[in-house]
Structures are given as structure tokens and as C-alpha cells.
Amino acid sequence: MKKSVVLLSGLLILASLSMTSCLTLNIFELDSEIKQFDRDVKMISNTVETVKVASQELTPEDEYYLGRSAAATIISSDSLYNNSAKVRYLNKICGALTIYSEKPYLYKGYKVAILNTYDINAISTPAGHIFISKGLLDAVQNEDELAAVIAHEIAHIQLNHSSEAIRTARTVNAVTTTMSTIDHFSNKDISDETEMFLGMSMGFVQVLIEKGFSSEQELEADKYALTLMNNAGYDPKAMANMLSILKDKQTGSTTFDKTHPSPKTRLDRVNKELKKQPFASSTSTPADRQKRFDSYK
């Protein structure tokens, strides 16, 4: 009898130890799963907050620092053409176009520069940088056509086309990019949102260079540029002349061809706008403007 009790007690102890071992193992596994779940929840929470911030409006400071980085990317692809007299001339035209516009001032102002390439192209950043290639400068024939090129890029800036592209790019990237991949900047003037998404937002630059704005945005910029030109005293019809030149030079292989709707499509839309809007006559004579243009050609 005593032997049976001892044997039974021993079996119960072994069973108890066995259960305790299994229970401990399960608790450890459960604890690991809970910790992983907690990490997943935090990651999802961070992603949700990231997307919320990414979709917020950009401040002028945000646009400047993002645009400045975009400008650096553009310049790294095509170097600048250093001709101070011609650059000053382009910036005077830009000033004439913006001073009478709805957005005459930016955080750090508008700036026009020349890209040292004969590829026909023009591009702008939300910071107010406007880049025009030597090839496009050589293609235009007078100051009014040159004003049309600059006015088109100003229109992209004032219509917030670049900013819209940045918000779209950074919202998409926010879902797939973890916070550890973001480069932090020490400049205290940059807002938290800009610091957080500067690295991710730059993805839009490559898209902008390779694909450009949407066709509707390009056509919208042409329409707005007509008003900018008219308000500054330039002949809006020069936009149609400039597009006709681009149509004749179209080869299908230039950057301009790849990033813009066909010049014919743009020309048709511009001609319709010119017939609808009662634009005023220019404030200076074509001869005056042609003389200025020829002196910087």
C-alpha cells in the first residue's frame, strides 16, 4: 500500500513537472508572439501617422527645401551654363512676368538658370528654380517667345503642380518606406514634415525628369501662361509661335518630346484660348523687345 502511494506520488510529480515545462514553453512562445504583434502594431501605427503627415499641405519652407534638393538633382544631370549677362536678362523677364501675377513672391524668390545642354527642354521646381536648356534658348526667335517659355514654367510653380507631385510621391512612399531609411537634416529651419519626407519625396524628381507633368497640367500651364504674358505686356500670341517652332523641331527623341504633350495638341488648345480671351496689346513695341533679345542672343 505504501509502495503504491509512493509510486502514485512520483507519477504525479513527474506529470506536474511535465505540464510545467510545457506551460513554460507555451508562455515563452506566446510572449514572443505578443512582442512581435506589438512591434507590428507600432509599425502600422507609425505608417498611418506617416501617411497622414505626408498628405498635408506643404509650407513655403517645405517647398523651398524640397525644391532646392530637386534643383541639385537636375544640375547633377546637366551642368549650368555660366553666362551672367544672359542669366540676368532671363531673370528680368521672369521678374516682369511674376510681379503682375497672383503670386509675385516666393519664400526665396524666383530664379532662372541655363542648363548647358542642346537638348530642348525646360523644367521648374516648387522652390522657384526655372531651368532652360541652351537648345531651347537657341530655338526661340524673340523676347516674347522666350517670355512664353518662362511664363509656362512660372505657371507650373504658381499652380502648385510640383507640390502636388511631391505630395503624391511621398504619400505612396510613406506606406512602403520605414522611418529608418530616412536621412535626417540638421537645419533647424526645416519643418518636421520636410525633414521626415525629404528623402522619400525626391523620388518625384526622377519621375518629373523622365515623364514630366500630366498632359492636363501642361495644358493648364499654357493657358495660365497666356495671362501672365498679357499682364506683363508681352504678346500672348508668341506662345503659339513658340509651340509652332517646337512642332517643327519635334523628333520624338528630345526630353521635351518625352515630358510634354505633342506641340500640335498644345498649339490647338492655345489657339482656342487666344480666340476666347480679349488680351490687351503689348506695352512695348516688338522692335524694342527684339533689340534687347538680339543683344543677349
Give residue-wise pLDDT tens across range 122-180: 999 888 999 999 999 999 999 999 999 999 999 999 998 876 666 555 544 444 443 34
Q: What is the structure's pLDDT at 170?
A: 53
Contact 132, 149 (CB under 8 A): yes
For position 81, what pLDDT does the model report?
94
Question: Closest Cα partner for 59 from 163, 207, 177, 139?
Answer: 163
* pLDDT computed for residue 285 by the predictor: 72
The answer on pLDDT for 88 being more than 70 is: yes
The three cell numbers of residue 201 are 519625396
Q: Look at residue 138 in the predicted model and tell me its pLDDT.
A: 94
Most confident of the following: 7-11, 73-77, 109-113, 196-200: 109-113
CA distance 207 to 278: 37
pLDDT at 254: 57
Reduced to 3 states, what is the DSSP secondary structure of residue 185?
Answer: coil
Per-residue pLDDT band for 181 (boundaries 50, 70, 90) equals very low
The residue that leads in pLDDT, 273 or 17, is 273
Q: In this model, does residue 233 exceed pLDDT 70?
A: yes
Specify the length of the chain in residues.
297
The packing angle between helices 161-176 and 60-77, to 10°, is: 90
What confidence score (pLDDT) does residue 144 get? Answer: 95
Please provide residue 80's backbone torsions phi and psi, each rounded to the nearest 5 degrees: -85, 145
Specify the pLDDT at position 179. Answer: 38
Average pLDDT, the chain: 74
* pLDDT of amino acid 63: 78
pLDDT bucket at 112, cuts 50 / 70 / 90? very high
Instruction: Place 38 in a pLDDT band, splitting at 50, 70 and 90.
Output: low
Task: Say what the pTM is.
Answer: 0.70
Contact 203, 175 (CB under 8 A): no
For the cut 60, the answer to whether the pLDDT of residue 5 exceeds it is no
Smallest CA-to-CA distance from 98 within 89, 109, 88 is with 109
CA distance 42 to 230: 55
pLDDT score, position 263? 84
DSSP H/E element including 26? helix 2-54
Binning pLDDT at 50, 70 and 90, where does residue 69 land? confident
Give 261 or 187, the one with higher predicted confidence.
261
pLDDT of 241 higher than 70: yes
Mean pLDDT of 23-37: 51
Per-residue pLDDT at 12 exceeds 50: no
CA distance 278 to 221: 18
Cα 246 to Cα 29, 116, 209, 254, distances in angstroms: 68, 19, 18, 11
39-47 average pLDDT score = 48
Q: What is the pLDDT of residue 76?
A: 85
Structure confidence at residue 236 (pLDDT): 94
Determine the average pLDDT of the residues in 49-57.
49
Q: What is the pLDDT of residue 39?
A: 54
For the stretch 175-187, what's the b/e string if a residue is b when 16 or more beta carbons lie within 10 angstroms of its beta carbon?
Answer: eebeeeeeeeeee
Decide which of 68 and 162 is more confident: 68
Instruction: Read off the amino acid at residue 204.
Output: F
